[in-house]
Chain A
Amino acid sequence: MSETLIVPAALEENWSPGDGPVINDLTIHVATVNGSGSQSSNSVLMRSIFQMGVPVSGKNMFPSNIAGLPTWFTIRANKDGWIARKKEVDILVCMNAQTVKEDVEALTAGSICIYDAPLNCRVMRSDLLFYEVPFAKLAMELTTDPRLRKLLANMLYVGIVAELIGIDRQEIVTALNKQFKGKKKAVDLNVQAIDKGMEHTRTALEGQQRFRIERMHKTEGKIIIDGNAAAAIGSVFGGVQVVTWYPITPSSSLVESMIDYLKEYRVDENGKATFAVVQAEDELAAVGMVLGAGWAGARSMTSTSGPGISLMAEFVGLGYFAEIPGVIWDIQRVGPSTGLPTRTSQGDVLEVFTLSHGDTQHIVLIPSSVSECFDFAIEALDLAEMFQTPVFVLSDLDLGMNNWMSDPFKYPEKEFRRGKIMTAEKLTELGGKWGRYLDVDGDGIPYRTVPGTAHLDAAYFTRGSGHDAYARYSERPEDYKATVDRLARKNETARKFVPKPAIERVEGARIGLVAYGTTDFALQESRHQLKKEKNIDTSYLRLRALPFTSELKAFVAEHEHVYVVEQNRDGQMGDLIRLEVGSDQSKIRKILHYSGLPCDARFITNAVLTMEEVASSPSGPGKSPAPEVSSSRVPMQGPPPLGFKGDGQD
Chain B
Amino acid sequence: MADSTIKSTTEVPKENRLGLKALDYGGGKSTLCAGCGHDAVTNQIIRAFYEMSVKAENVAKFSGIGCSSKTPAYFLSRSHGFNSVHGRMPSVATGAILANHKLIGIGISGDGDTASIGLGQFMHMVRRNIPIIYIIENNGVYGLTKGQFSATADEGSKLKSGVVNDLPPMDLCALAVELGCGFVARGFAGDPKQMVNILKASIAHSGTAVIDVISPCVTFNNHEGSTKGYTYSKEHQELLHQIGFVPSYEQIEVDYEPGTVREVTMHDGSTVLLRKLEEDYDPTNTIQAISRLHEATQAGQMLTGLIFLTPEKKSFTELLNVVDQPLYSLTADVTKPSREALDAIMQELM
Contact = CB atoms under 8 A, between A and B. Distances in A.
B124 A451 contact: no
A622 interface: no
Contacts of B324: 272
Contact of A290 (B95, B320, B328, B346): B95
A233 interface: yes
Interface in B33-61: 56-58, 60
Contacts of A297: 99-100, 328-329
20 contacts: A239-B332, A240-B335, A241-B328, A241-B330, A274-B322, A274-B335, A285-B91, A288-B92, A288-B95, A289-B92, A293-B98, A315-B88, A412-B336, A416-B335, A456-B57, A459-B80, A460-B80, A461-B83, A462-B81, A463-B83
Contacts of B328: 241, 293, 296-299, 450
A286 B95 CA distance: 9
B327 interface: yes
* 5 closest A-B pairs by CB: A292-B95, A288-B91, A298-B99, A239-B335, A289-B95
Interface stretch (B71-79, B179-187, B272-280): B71-79
Given A244-B95, A271-B321, A276-B320, A239 B336 contact: yes
B85 A314 contact: yes
Q: Residue among B56, B128, B328, B336 with the most chain A CB within 10 A?
A: B328
B221 interface: no
Given A265-B341, A268-B334, A451-B60, A461 B98 contact: no
Given A222-B350, A233-B345, A455-B57, A276 B98 contact: yes
Given A298-B328, A451-B79, A292 B92 contact: yes
Nearest to B92: A292
Nearest to B76: A459
Interface residues of B, number: 58
A298 B102 CA distance: 13
Given A280-B91, A408-B349, 19 more contacts: A233-B345, A237-B342, A239-B332, A241-B327, A241-B335, A265-B341, A275-B322, A276-B320, A288-B85, A288-B121, A291-B92, A292-B82, A295-B92, A296-B99, A411-B339, A452-B100, A456-B78, A461-B73, A465-B83
B168 interface: no
Interface in B110-167: 120-121, 124, 128
A268 B334 CA distance: 8
A295 B82 contact: yes
Contact of B350 (A223, A290, A314, A452): A223
A588 B92 CA distance: 43
B73 A452 contact: no
A602 interface: no
Interface in A279-328: 280-282, 284-300, 314-315, 318
Nearest to B59: A451
Contacts of A451: 60, 79-80, 96, 100, 103
A44 B128 CA distance: 41
A278 interface: yes
Contacts of B323: 268, 270, 272-274
Nearest to B89: A288
B93 interface: yes
A579 interface: no
Nearest to A262: B337
Given A242-B95, A288-B91, A415 B327 contact: no
A328 to B, nearest CB: 13
Given A288-B91, A296-B95, A296-B96, A318 B103 contact: no
B265 interface: no
Interface residues of A, number: 72
A174 to B, nearest CB: 11
Given A237-B336, A274-B323, A464-B84, A408 B346 contact: yes
Nearest to B317: A276
A208 to B, nearest CB: 31
Contacts of B342: 233, 237, 409, 411
A221 interface: yes
Nearest to B339: A411
A65 interface: no
B72 A275 contact: no
Given A223-B350, A268-B334, A292-B82, A459 B96 contact: no
Interface of B: 56-58, 60, 62, 72-73, 77-85, 88, 90-100, 102-103, 120-121, 124, 128, 317, 320-324, 326-332, 334-337, 339, 341-342, 345-346, 349-350
A239 B338 CA distance: 12
A557 interface: no
Contacts of A473: 73
A593 interface: no
A463 B100 CA distance: 20
A456 B327 CA distance: 23
Contacts of B327: 241-242, 274-276, 298
B341 to A, nearest CB: 5
A295 B95 contact: yes
A266 interface: yes
B100 to A, nearest CB: 5
A453 B95 contact: no
Contact of A224 (B72, B124, B321, B349): B349
Given A241-B327, A265-B341, A292-B94, A285 B332 contact: no
Interface of A: 221-225, 233, 236-242, 244, 261, 265-266, 268, 270-276, 278, 280-282, 284-300, 314-315, 318, 408-409, 411-412, 415-416, 449-456, 458-465, 473
Contacts of A236: 337
A464 B83 contact: yes
B67 to A, nearest CB: 13
Contacts of B78: 456, 459
A288 B89 CA distance: 8
A511 to B, nearest CB: 37
A638 B73 CA distance: 52
A275 B85 CA distance: 26
Contacts of B82: 292, 295, 461-463
Nearest to B98: A276
A291 B330 CA distance: 18
A457 B345 CA distance: 45
Contacts of A225: 349
Contacts of A408: 346, 349-350
Nearest to B82: A462
B289 to A, nearest CB: 24
Nearest to A451: B80
A265 B196 CA distance: 46
B89 to A, nearest CB: 8
A481 B317 CA distance: 41
A242 B98 contact: yes
B99 A242 contact: yes
Q: Residue among B62, B121, B128, B337 with the most chain A CB within 10 A?
A: B337
Nearest to A292: B95
A270 B325 CA distance: 13
Nearest to B83: A463
B88 A288 contact: yes
A293 B95 contact: yes
Nearest to B78: A459
Contacts of B120: 281-282, 285
Contact of A292 (B73, B91, B102, B330): B91
Given A221-B350, A288-B91, A451-B103, A273 B322 contact: yes
Contact of B88 (A221, A285, A293): A285
A270 B80 CA distance: 32
Nearest to B101: A276
A276 B349 contact: no
A446 to B, nearest CB: 15
A451 B105 CA distance: 11
Contacts of B103: 296, 451-452
